[in-house]
Structure 1
Amino acid sequence: MMAQLAKAAQKQLADLLFPVRAARGEEEDGILNVPLHERRLQTETYDFTILTIANLLREEKIVVPEFQRKYVWNRNQASRLIESIIIQCPIPVIYLDQEDDGTLKVIDGNQRLMSIRLFFENGFRLKGLRAFPDLNGFLFRELDPRFRTHIENRTIRCITILKETHPQIKFDVFERLNTGAVQLNPQELRHGLYHGSLMEKLDELGEYEPWQELSGIKDDKRMRGAELILRFLALRFKLDEYEKPLATFLNKFAQGNRDVGKDDEFENAFKKSVDGMKALLGSKAFRLLDADGKPDNNFNSAVFDAQMVGFALSGRSPKNISKELGAEFLPRYVALQTDREYVRAVSASTSDRPLVHTRIELFRSLVQEIVPV
């Protein structure tokens, strides 16, 4: 008994000190779908001088994407980095992602890079130095020219993931390097890796008031709503190409549509479906209902797929849905939830291609039966 208690205590301590990351789900194992010969990371390694890095940052040839992880280092941390450069202490490797236009986007190392840029722009005075306390209080421009030259000529190793690397491999590497205090979720990673007008559009659509009302997502700090909107758009416009895992499907769609321009097709499709669901089900949308039509408290992503994409593909307009029609629709939808195929499609192995198609098709058919053209 004592041995068992000791072993349990040891396990508890180990869990505290060395937490085990949750196992990757089926939808996250997209790397297995990449052909073996394309799973190799294609990289180039550069030893950039600090001056070169500062210039590349200023010219925006190296860019820090604007997503969840902001600049959070305090002046002591930034100053210690500069001191490490002065004493030639090894600096951790910077990881960069090469865009199609040759721009290098930071995957890991933005705190270090932003600290270097700020210092070269005289953005902070050195503080808390230990090896060279006499330099405390100085801006970069105020340092002796010999110190400035010494700093400028130091190097940091930068590993660039070349644009020829398979997109899913890039995403996997980005995830592996995600070692911040707050772990980024898949949509936050996409927002950084595929940042462009599509990601901006997702943020914009997330502000649509009827969507916030139905989804209950009003403060989308962790981008849950943005991922759901991306999920709708991907299934609405590329349903025939859908293959599991879902995460890889969303990655491909995000990459292929990252610069959507001013085309309002995505916006119109999303708002039309949201308005349709508001007219048909109101607060009962996106949730399982019991036999009396009472909604479950939990948002159901599979039900969301069925309703949003099904309505979009029905060819019906929310303008043709009266209150009376909504009242007629509700019991028919409650009855649909007793259909064995529908229940299976929204409750188990929901990312399987046949089940995705099944739930969308069943809801689409129901809408077409009741809502006039």
Structure 2
Amino acid sequence: MSKSKNLADELFPEPDLYDSEEVLDIPPNQRKLHTESYDYSISTIYEYLKSEHIYIPRYQRSYVWDRSQASKLIESLVIQCPIPILYLEQSYDSRFSVIDGNQRLTSIKLFLNDEFSLKGLTAYPELDGLFWSDLDPRIQRHIKNRTLRCIAILPDTHPQIKFDVFERLNTGSVKLNSQELRHGIYHGPLIDKVEKLAKSAKWKEVTRIKADKRMRRSELVLRYLAMANDLESYFKPLTGFLNQFAEKYQFASSETLEKFEDDFTQAVEKIHTLYGDLSFRPFNHEFKAQNAINTALLDAQMIAVHRLERPLHSFSQREREKLWKATADLFDERDFSMTIGAGTSSRSSVLGRIEKFSVFLNEQLG
């Protein structure tokens, strides 16, 4: 190990997230947002983007600006029109991920890379049709000397406070959902594992979520992992519970993540064997199910099969249909149907439906 790496480990240690407090118990003095402001020249920003010292995280929306929008930004730099503040998140290795400003930064990088020509300018129409390399060197220097204000959220900010701030800065035309935000805030080995599991063929089959543009399958994987491994610490709201789990296991060991993967894979195999296309959907005695997933039922079924010890390799179609009939009877029971209907995120409802379905499955398959 080099002396440089030893020094870097001392100066920029990775956080120990395994002893973190519950989100709802964050002390008041830790609820503050820690930030630092930087005024970077366009020249510096361009170099940082090329070296990925500043980078666009995977959870961010793809680049959607058209050439006219991007050209207006470049023209604003020329006429020295104020540009909105860029918001970044600084990681423990001192790199910056972009929270708000993806379209602006990508436009600057593309233009300086000579990847589009200017179009639709109003203040300087003389520059229409010109690429970066076509501009007079004096105009190029003028643009590269312009500075943009950047506000960076520092790594010692509590993760749940970051989540709240990310939501407040979520200004896109299609706002990021909770799981997309988690992929940015808690990016690390756990999120990578969740992404991998969300793409498994059997998971796609039982959830019937094929085109997953909003990370829905990923959130359901994380939901299962959190309840399978941390159910006793469950609290409402569910979003806070999932955030706490993602923070706690953000940098989990490879051994822990392999166990998560094995448990998840076995649970999906079992639920597929038992219910197939009926998985996670209430159905009637004719075995007609609703199309949409009931996520409360998903909790109950996935944790119940996770706890199930019986191997299911020899499970027959006759046994399966007998189970389906009993399950349809269970859906008719008011006490159970209420736990997968209204108010499904309360602690009593979550623990109640999981326990009820676990007992039911053991009775049917015991």
What is the TM-score of this pair, normalised by structure 2?
A: 0.85
Question: Cα 1:200–1:237, aligned 2, differ >3 Å: closer, same or farther?
Answer: same
Structural mapping, 1:107-126, within 5 Å: 107-126=99-118
CA contact (8 A) 2:111 2:131 kept: yes
Between the aligned partners of 1:197 and 1:158, the Cα distance in structure 2 is: 28
Which of 87, 95, 100 is equivalent to 2:87?
A: 95
Q: Which moved more, 1:170-179 or 1:131-140?
A: 131-140
Q: CA deviation at 1:349?
A: 2.1
Q: CA deviation at 1:367?
A: 2.6
Q: CA deviation at 1:293?
A: 5.0
1:182 aligned partner:
174
2:245 aligned partner:
253
2:17 aligned partner:
none
Q: Secondary structure at the match of 2:152?
A: strand
Structural mapping, 1:168-207, within 5 Å: 168-207=160-199
1:300 aligned partner:
294
Q: Where in structure 1 are there 5+ consecutive unaligned residues?
A: 1-29
User: CA-to-partner distance for each residue in 1:239-275, whole Å, 9 max, x for gaps?
Assistant: 1222221101112222343456764333322222222
* 1:240 and 2:235 aligned: no
Which of 325, 329, 333 is equivalent to 2:323?
A: 329
Question: Cα 1:145–1:197, aligned 2, differ >3 Å: closer, same or farther?
Answer: same
Between the aligned partners of 2:135 and 2:332, the Cα distance in structure 1 is: 76
Q: Which moved more, 1:280-289 or 1:131-140?
A: 131-140
Q: CA deviation at 1:69?
A: 0.9
CA contact (8 A) 2:159 2:185 kept: no
User: CA-to-partner distance for each residue in 1:186-243, whole Å, 9 max, x for gaps?
Assistant: 2222233333444444343333333333222111122222211211111112212222
CA contact (8 A) 1:31 1:169 kept: no
Between the aligned partners of 1:313 and 1:320, the Cα distance in structure 2 is: 18
2:29 aligned partner:
37
Between the aligned partners of 1:335 and 1:57, the Cα distance in structure 2 is: 59
CA contact (8 A) 1:290 1:296 kept: no
Q: How many residues align?
A: 343
Which of 247, 263, 267 is equivalent to 1:269?
A: 263
Q: Which moved more, 1:85-94 or 1:316-325?
A: 316-325
- RMSD of equivalent CA atoms: 2.5
1:156 aligned partner:
148
2:306 aligned partner:
312
2:16 aligned partner:
none
User: CA-to-partner distance for each residue in 1:343-369, whole Å, 9 max, x for gaps?
Assistant: 332223221223212211222223333
- The aligned amino acid for 1:110 is N
* 1:85 and 2:77 aligned: yes
Q: Secondary structure at the match of 1:160?
A: strand
Question: Cα 1:152–1:251, aligned 2, differ >3 Å: closer, same or farther?
Answer: same
Which of 328, 347, 352 is equivalent to 1:353?
A: 347
Q: Secondary structure at the match of 1:318?
A: coil
- The aligned amino acid for 1:356 is V
Q: Secondary structure at the match of 2:33?
A: coil
Q: CA deviation at 1:68?
A: 5.1
Q: Secondary structure at the match of 2:138?
A: helix
Q: Secondary structure at the match of 2:73?
A: helix
2:3 aligned partner:
none
User: CA-to-partner distance for each residue in 1:36-78, whole Å, 9 max, x for gaps?
Assistant: 3332211111111111111111111111112351111122221
Structural mapping, 1:19-38, within 5 Å: 34-38=26-30
* 1:57 and 2:52 aligned: no
What is the TM-score of this pair, normalised by structure 1?
A: 0.83
Between the aligned partners of 1:324 and 1:282, the Cα distance in structure 2 is: 14
Q: CA deviation at 1:161?
A: 1.0
Between the aligned partners of 2:262 and 2:24, the Cα distance in structure 1 is: 35
- The aligned amino acid for 1:126 is L
Q: CA deviation at 1:112?
A: 0.6
Q: Which moved more, 1:300-309 or 1:31-40?
A: 31-40
Q: CA deviation at 1:312?
A: 0.6
Q: Secondary structure at the match of 1:46?
A: strand
Q: Which moved more, 1:254-263 or 1:351-360?
A: 254-263
CA contact (8 A) 1:71 1:110 kept: yes
CA contact (8 A) 1:45 1:158 kept: yes
- Percent identity over the alignment is 46
Q: Secondary structure at the match of 1:281?
A: helix
Question: Cα 1:62–1:261, aligned 2, differ >3 Å: closer, same or farther?
Answer: farther
Question: Cα 1:32–1:197, aligned 2, differ >3 Å: closer, same or farther?
Answer: closer
Between the aligned partners of 2:185 and 2:51, the Cα distance in structure 1 is: 20
1:146 aligned partner:
138
Q: Which moved more, 1:284-293 or 1:168-177?
A: 284-293
* 1:364 and 2:366 aligned: no
Q: Secondary structure at the match of 2:110?
A: helix
- The aligned amino acid for 2:342 is A
- The aligned amino acid for 2:303 is V
Question: Cα 1:343–1:320, aligned 2, differ >3 Å: closer, same or farther?
Answer: same
CA contact (8 A) 2:23 2:244 kept: no
